[in-house]
Structure 1
Amino acid sequence: MSESSPQTPSVQLHGRTYHLPQRPTVVVCIDGFDPEYLKAGIEDGILPNLASFLQSGFHITAECAMPSLTNPNNLSIITGAPTSIHGVSGNYYLDKETGEEHMVVDDSTMHGTTILAKLADAGVRIAAITAKDKLRRIINHGLSPSKSSICFSAQCANESTLSENGIEDVERWLGQSTPAQYSGALSLFVLDAGVKLLSEGRADFFYLTLSDYIQHKYAPRSVEANQFMAAIDSRLGEFVNLGAVVAVTGDHGMSDKSAEDGNPNVLFLEDFLHKGWPDARARVICPISDPFVKHHGALGGFVRVYLRGLGNTSDQLQIEEIVAECRKLPEVEVALTGDDAAALFEMPRDREGDFVVVSKKGFVVGSRADEHDLSQLGGLRLRSHGGVVGAEDSVVEIYACLFWGC
């Protein structure tokens, strides 16, 4: 990263320098933007704007933060740091002190601040729009209408107020009704709102983050996926035509997790552990769990395991025995103690389980069979987030005319 000159105002966070935008800058995070969607769309000629980004701008395929989930990776995008620094290492977690389980729906578990907040403090007008409201309440950290910031979600657009979100009557202003929670329209609403704010000159820096509902349900080259990606590409072109610098990234990958017969390839790990080591009182936490579970059944490639009946120094050998047995399971790619997982994946150790299990490509890991309602998949094949960093189905792709912070 180049050093700022005295003539180039900038902000610093976590050892990096970010220049203040000299013209409107739009960062779009396409949730679940697996590289295959880009590859197929460009080959089939349905993504002309993204194709032009690859030809004339900057493009790279990068590893995402682990676990490969929405909350951790959106925070890593807007902090430029791994989860060990910003502290948000899942959508759902177990409080080791109280034993209670919690969903992450605001910024109370994060550490430090964000690039967006730093830019706002420097006088940059921020527009941060999310598809999901739970994410809005996280990335809203450090933003407020008093700093000329606008931050609202498509999910709750009809509830936006000037005092909370910096904008009101969003439905009337945009001329669209608040979309259904489970729909591709939720993401397109975000982009349409961003285009309108840009056309009205109401923000200098935009962070627009979408939903992965379509990617969870439909594979690349399906009719539904093609329509959705083409609609996104069209709106990216509108940002460019309005004079913005445009950066597009993903937060995690997405791939098929079903067998040839269409049934999901699932390891219900807590059931396995209760059968083999009942005294360990294992609890498996699926950090993919959030208020949007209908399309993935709270099944992903990464789980944390807490052994409530163990944990003392004298029990360490049994913990290592259990981890070793988990490594032998055909669905498992990696099983690591909490210490090793936190070090390898740059996650906060104080939030980690006794051990971590990551699935192989094509598989997902759950807790107990009775905790996952797969009937909501509606007969479609299960598609979900990837597992090990660097594996084909867990990478993030970054497509941009200019990738901010570089």
Structure 2
Amino acid sequence: MKINVNSIDYNIRKTPVVGICMDGTSYDYYEAAASVMPNLQRIIKSGSQGLVQSVIPSFTNPNNMAIATGVTPDLNGICGNYYYNTETGEEVMMNDPAFLKVPTIFEKFSQNGQKVAVVTAKDKLRRMLSKNLNGVCFSAEFAGQVSAEENGISNVIDDLMGKTNPGIYDPDISVYCIEAGAKLLQKEPYDLMYLTTTDFVQHKYAPDDQEAKQFLSKIDHWIGELDRMGAIVGVTADHGMSAKTRNDGSPKVEFLETLLEKEGNIKSRVILPITDPYVVHHGALGSYGTVYLEDEYTEKAKDIIQNVPGMELVLTKNEAVEKFNLPGNLIGELVVLSDEETVIGRSEDWHDLEKVKSGLRSHGGLHESEVPMIINRPLNDTYMKQLESGKARNFQLFDFLFNGVID
């Protein structure tokens, strides 16, 4: 039996399939924590691994929804956490399921007789991931507020977890997410499961920091439990993470609205799609931005921005659509990506820099787009060659798990 989702056929498995998105976790985190992640090291040796490419912008929403749909942002409609509605003049958070233009893999599987569960750390993803889903979908953030009608489960705290959920800025919120997946699978034989964490730890700590290793050690335990239960398990990420600081530890930011006004007398609106309700760890500063301005100023603005140190790539709308498979109606006249050490801002007074004044780790550009894919089973030759090529994409996760794993 196969289920077709967005023109991709997925072979149904008799074994539970669990996809995990470790938010913000590039491979260097696993390398640094190897000694405290015995389960992952065992899985790597007995299964398959490679480096894959995320979608751009290398942010949470676009990559999670690419993984959930198996297709790029131009097809699924999700290209950031925020976009600018040029008709209403409003900056809109892109967390409404109405923005999603295609069905998710979870929707299609659940409507074709498969038992499906999705657990997120942040609630911002839950509504889109649960669109038309006939199954379980809840966030660890609001685990105490679930209902059978809304989430497909009625009591997470007492009946499933036996403990209250941590706060959204507690590293253990992501551990709680993976643990919830393991405990769901212990209780019932799910066919498909997706577990997606939050990147508070990766924003705050570098791979070599002890806090990052302690966090990953806890994650490793529950990955090991999923593996021991016999599930086909695949681990990837939505993006990596880079330090974005000057020598004194302050954020290395270029404020584009201020820059264009000062250097070219150009009025612009810069949208930073990293912006979401959880700004404590990134201050709405990332390495991708899109610039709205009058058409007549596009070339002049492009010239100004691309001559600024730290601005790595400046593309017109059409160039960005073609290069990164972005929906043209949801980006501005320019798309800007900064380098590994620099983030893009609007104006200094628009951001609350107090929260990141002593160090900033963030993402969004090309340097955070390479992420691991680790699978606890061998792949057939065709899929193994794809994985080893370095050209496979993170949103092919379920294609690999359903179609590539050797029975």
Q: What TM-score do you get using the length of structure 2 for normalisation?
A: 0.91
* Per-residue deviation, 1:386: 4.1
The letter for the 2-side match of 1:233 is D
Pairing partner for 1:210 from 197, 214, 228: 197
Dislocated runs of 4+, deviation >3 Å: none
**Are 1:404 and 2:383 counterparts?**
no
Give the equivalent residue in structure 2 for 1:369. Answer: 348
* Per-residue deviation, 1:226: 0.3
Aligned counterparts of 1:88 and 1:125: Cα–Cα separation in 2: 26
Aligned counterparts of 2:164 and 2:69: Cα–Cα separation in 1: 32
**Are 1:33 and 2:20 counterparts?**
no
Secondary structure of residue in 2 paired with 1:404: helix
* Per-residue deviation, 1:387: 1.1
Pairing partner for 1:111 from 97, 101, 110: 101
Pairing partner for 1:71 from 33, 40, 61: 61
Aligned counterparts of 2:60 and 2:248: Cα–Cα separation in 1: 29
Aligned counterparts of 2:149 and 2:352: Cα–Cα separation in 1: 38
Aligned 8 A contact 2:83 2:331 in 1: no
Pairing partner for 2:84 from 85, 91, 94: 94
Aligned counterparts of 2:52 and 2:165: Cα–Cα separation in 1: 33
Q: Deviations over 1:180-214 (max 9, x none)?
A: 11111111111111111111115221100000000
- Taking only aligned residues, the RMSD between alpha carbons, in angstroms, comes to 1.3
Aligned 8 A contact 1:20 1:119 in 2: no
Give the equivalent residue in structure 1 for 2:361. Answer: 383
Count of residues in Structure 1 that have an aligned counterpart in Structure 2 = 380
Q: Where does 1:276-355 land on structure 2 (aligned, <5 Å)?
A: 276-278=263-265, 280-307=266-293, 310-311=294-295, 315=296, 318-355=297-334
* Per-residue deviation, 1:106: 2.3
Aligned counterparts of 1:186 and 1:203: Cα–Cα separation in 2: 22
User: Which moved further from structure 2: 79-88 or 14-23?
Assistant: 14-23
Identical aligned residues as a percent: 39
* Per-residue deviation, 1:167: 0.8
Aligned counterparts of 1:396 and 1:305: Cα–Cα separation in 2: 27
Give the equivalent residue in structure 2 for 1:157. Answer: 143
Give the equivalent residue in structure 2 for 1:181. Answer: 168
* Per-residue deviation, 1:172: 1.2
* Per-residue deviation, 1:48: 1.4
Q: Deviations over 1:314-359 (max 9, x none)?
A: x2xx311210121110010001111111111111111120101110
Query: Which runs of 5 or more structure 2 residues have no equivalent in the other structure?
Result: 378-396, 401-407
Higher relative contact order (CA 8 A, sep 6+): 2
The letter for the 1-side match of 2:255 is F
Pairing partner for 2:208 from 209, 221, 227: 221
**Are 1:231 and 2:225 counterparts?**
no
Give the equivalent residue in structure 1 for 2:370. Answer: 395
Secondary structure of residue in 2 paired with 1:405: helix
**Are 1:82 and 2:72 counterparts?**
yes
Query: Which runs of 5 or more structure 1 residues have no equivalent in the other structure?
Result: 1-8
**Are 1:167 and 2:153 counterparts?**
yes
Q: Deviations over 1:141-176 (max 9, x none)?
A: 1203xxxx0000011111100111011121112111
Aligned counterparts of 1:14 and 1:204: Cα–Cα separation in 2: 19
Secondary structure of residue in 2 paired with 1:300: coil
Pairing partner for 1:133 from 110, 123, 128: 123
* Per-residue deviation, 1:380: 4.2
Q: What TM-score do you get using the length of structure 1 for normalisation?
A: 0.91
Aligned counterparts of 1:30 and 1:106: Cα–Cα separation in 2: 23
Give the equivalent residue in structure 1 for 2:384. Answer: none
Q: Indicate the structure with greater helix content.
A: 2
